[in-house]
Structure 1
Amino acid sequence: MDKVYVEGMRFYGYHGAFQEETKLGQRFYADVVMEIDTEQAGNTDDLDDTVNYAEVYEAAKEVLEGEPVKLVETLTARTASLILERFAIVDAVTVKVKKPDPPIPGHYDGVAVEIRRERGFEKK
């Protein structure tokens, strides 16, 4: 399966388990990898035969700058679900959401959650 990448998206949201996170907000980064068949788009050179990167960005923005949640896991799962819902051409999606400055002790590059979901995925 072919893959389309939209990487390094940056957002500002009010998510977190601690009160200061939901009050002050913080940065979130997202990478999205969509598994699609790009043969048609490659032959037609028509945007309607693939995913529009700007629309993928807007879907991620809707979640990451939207309703506050406590967990990065929730942000990641909601982003994946929305992409599968909005883009019928996407057979599977991998989403990675990174919180570069979590309010926990230590010096590191942040924390991240990465998930892969495919069309028809149902948790039992």
Structure 2
Amino acid sequence: MDKIVLKNMAFYGYHGNLTSEQEQGQRFFVDVEITTDLTKAGQSDQLEDSINYVEVYELVESVMTGEKHNLLERLGALIADSLYQHYQGIVGLSVTVRKPSVPIAGILDYVEVVTTRGQI
């Protein structure tokens, strides 16, 4: 199987379980890895035979900059389920949502949640 990967997309959103997170907002980073068969696209050189990664980016952006959510788990599920509904050729996918500014009294780079669907 082949893969299309969008790595480290950055968005400013108002997600979090704390009121201050939903009021002030913060940066989030998202990776999407889509498993699919790209044989036809590789032969035809036509976008309609592939998964349009510009549209994938726009879908992720709409979730990340849209409605407020409490959990990274919810954001990952919304992105994964929306991609599955939009594209029929997806065999599996992985959505990673990272939050570097977490309300944890400790030192860490970020917290991330990885949501998977199908065969990766």
Q: Shorter-chain TM-score category?
A: over 0.9
- 1:37-52 equivalent positions in 2, closer than 5 A: 37-52=37-52
2:115 aligns with 115
Inter-partner Cα distance in structure 2 for 1:83 and 1:12: 21
Other structure's SS at 2:90 match: coil
Inter-partner Cα distance in structure 2 for 1:49 and 1:87: 11
Other structure's SS at 2:109 match: coil
Inter-partner Cα distance in structure 1 for 2:57 and 2:41: 20
1:86 aligns with 86
2:29 aligns with 29
1:122 aligns with none
Moved over 2 A (4+): none
In structure 2, runs of 5+ residues without a counterpart are none
Instruction: Give the CA deviation at 1:54.
Output: 0.9
Other structure's SS at 1:63 match: helix
In structure 1, runs of 5+ residues without a counterpart are 120-124
- 1:55-94 equivalent positions in 2, closer than 5 A: 55-94=55-94
Inter-partner Cα distance in structure 1 for 2:118 and 2:91: 6
Inter-partner Cα distance in structure 2 for 1:98 and 1:7: 11
Inter-partner Cα distance in structure 1 for 2:15 and 2:110: 15
Inter-partner Cα distance in structure 2 for 1:88 and 1:117: 13
Other structure's SS at 2:66 match: coil
Instruction: Give the CA deviation at 1:58.
Output: 0.5
Inter-partner Cα distance in structure 2 for 1:82 and 1:3: 18
Other structure's SS at 2:32 match: strand
Instruction: Give the CA deviation at 1:118.
Output: 2.5
Percent sequence identity is 40
Greater displacement, 47-56 / 83-92: 83-92
Inter-partner Cα distance in structure 1 for 2:80 and 2:103: 25
